[in-house]
């Protein structure tokens, strides 16, 4: 082990007023596999195994806002065990946490990669669905007047850019027509470069990068997946509400609904949350967010979202060129009425209203968008659905 890595970890521990041997196991595991750069896309598997459970404590990243849990916890009681074998699936997926909730009860909860229910795992693009939910909350609260408003109404620094013609709805559906490269394995892609962008003085780093992008199609005419635009949505919500995303998520969902643990949200170089990515939460709390959406977006007895928001957000608003699939308001949609939040390297919240089903999973796939692990996860969702259908059919006899 490199002596400077051990030394750096000791300095971090001392600065926090704790000794090396009292550090939790997640931080101890970092000693051997500490990433030394910010570019998550090009870390090794071992570095990701260590770092995904401690992103908000990495020296190269460690700036995050806390999302506070409240005094009461939304209950997830144990239900009858789901008759399904997951060991081989979890091993192939390199799964850290898997929680299956059906009819409000935990039917299966299992962990791997030396992770457990007390730990917090990074979300990657699962955060996009949280961010879009905050747009709905901001509309309900009157901070955002209409999805048909132009982006520049809320982010005036975007005036004069290709975003002059883009609406809030087109941001949510990723149909802005702005040119963007989301290739996770290309170090020169926009998604690899934009978080390292050096902004103009006094300008948010996302705004600084995005307002220089060219148009490739008329607004509303073409779907292209763009993490940078979700970051722009986060800036828009913060400007509209006058609150950080972490504070607003705490207020509207985390405390009010009853999440079990505090969460955190990584910050970009100019101090705003990286809203297309980088929540850290427990797998059970990801499942609780699924329950919040499945239950109609009600927290503490109050509707957080406008009437009809969830139905519109979780049904196909854009054609992604994949039969049976689509894109809503930062949710991936299926034609059977189910939908999902998805993040690279195997993070996900799958929601099936028909079966009252939520599947929350955290993993570290071998590749960001893995051509084997991705389809296997889709097949697993269908396997769980089939197991529940078989139970229902048996119970009706």
pLDDT profile of the chain (397 residues), mean per 10: 33 34 52 74 92 90 91 97 96 98 98 97 98 98 98 97 97 97 89 80 91 96 96 98 98 98 95 95 98 97 97 97 96 98 98 98 96 97 97 82
Q: Which CATH superfamily is domain 67-126+244-395 in?
A: DD-peptidase/beta-lactamase superfamily (3.40.710.10)
Specify the pTM: 0.91
Q: Phi and psi for 325 in degrees, rounded to 5?
A: -125, 165
Q: Is the dihedral of CA 343, 348, 352, 356 positive or negative?
A: negative
Q: Where are the domains of the chain?
A: 3-62, 67-126+244-395, 139-234
Which pLDDT score, from 0 to 100, does residue 30 have? 59
Tokens at residue 235, please? 């800036």
Which pLDDT score, from 0 to 100, does residue 25 have? 59
Place of tokens 């550090």: 23
Question: Distance (Å, rounded) from C-alpha 61 to C-alpha 52?
Answer: 12
Question: Distance (Å, rounded) from C-alpha 93 to C-alpha 379?
Answer: 12
Residue 79 exposure: Cα atoms within 13 Å on the Cβ side? 17
Task: Provide the strand spans (E) within 201-338.
Answer: 263-266, 279-281, 298-299, 302-303, 325-327, 332-334
Tokens at residue 394, please? 């048996």
Question: Distance (Å, rounded) from C-alpha 81 to C-alpha 352?
Answer: 19
Which pLDDT score, from 0 to 100, does residue 11 have? 31
266 alpha carbon, distance to own chain's centre = 12
59 alpha carbon, distance to own chain's centre = 22
Task: Write down the CATH number for the domain with range 139-234.
Answer: 1.20.58.710
CB 122 within 8 A of CB 280: yes
- List, for residues 167-224, the tens digit of each pLDDT value: 999 999 999 999 999 998 888 898 888 767 888 888 999 999 999 999 999 999 999 9
Which pLDDT score, from 0 to 100, does residue 144 have? 98
């Amino acid at each position: 082990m490199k002596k400077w890595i051990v030394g750096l970890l000791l300095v971090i521990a001392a600065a926090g007023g704790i000794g090396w041997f009292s550090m939790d196991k997640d931080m101890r595991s970092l000693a051997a596999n500490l990433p030394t750069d910010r570019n998550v896309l090009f870390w090794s598997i071992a570095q990701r195994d260590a770092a995904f459970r401690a992103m908000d404590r990495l020296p190269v990243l460690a700036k995050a806002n806390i999302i506070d849990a409240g005094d009461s916890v939304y209950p997830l009681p144990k239900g009858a065990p789901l008759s399904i074998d997951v060991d081989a699936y979890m091993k192939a997926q390199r799964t850290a946490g898997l929680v299956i909730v059906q009819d409000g009860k935990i039917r299966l909860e299992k962990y791997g990669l030396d992770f457990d229910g007390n730990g917090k795992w990074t979300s990657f693009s699962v955060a996009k669905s949280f961010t879009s939910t905050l747009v709905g909350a901001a509309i309900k609260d009157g901070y955002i007047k209409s999805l048909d408003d132009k982006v520049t109404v809320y982010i005036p620094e975007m005036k004069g850019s290709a975003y002059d013609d883009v609406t809030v709805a087109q941001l949510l559906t990723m149909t802005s027509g702005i040119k963007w490269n989301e290739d996770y394995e290309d170090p020169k892609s926009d998604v690899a470069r934009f978080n390292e962008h050096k902004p103009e003085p006094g300008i948010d780093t996302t705004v600084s990068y995005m307002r220089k992008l060219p148009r490739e199609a008329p607004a509303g005419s073409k779907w292209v997946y763009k993490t940078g635009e979700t970051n722009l949505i986060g800036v828009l919500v913060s400007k509209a509400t006058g609150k950080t995303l972490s504070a607003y998520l705490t207020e509207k969902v985390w405390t009010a609904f009853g999440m079990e643990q505090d969460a955190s949200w990584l910050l970009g170089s100019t101090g705003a949350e990286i809203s297309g990515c980088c929540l850290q939460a427990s797998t059970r709390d990801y499942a609780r967010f699924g329950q919040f959406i499945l239950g109609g977006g009600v927290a503490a007895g109050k509707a957080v979202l406008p009437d009809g928001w969830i139905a519109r957000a979780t049904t196909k608003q854009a054609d992604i060129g994949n039969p049976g699939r689509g894109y809503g308001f930062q949710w991936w949609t299926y034609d059977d009425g189910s939908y999902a939040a998805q993040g690279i390297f195997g993070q996900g919240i799958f929601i099936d209203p028909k079966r009252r089903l939520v599947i929350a999973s955290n993993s570290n796939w071998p590749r960001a968008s893995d051509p084997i692990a991705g389809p296997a996860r889709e097949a697993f969702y269908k396997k769980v659905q089939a197991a529940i259908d078989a139970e229902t059919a048996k119970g009706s006899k």
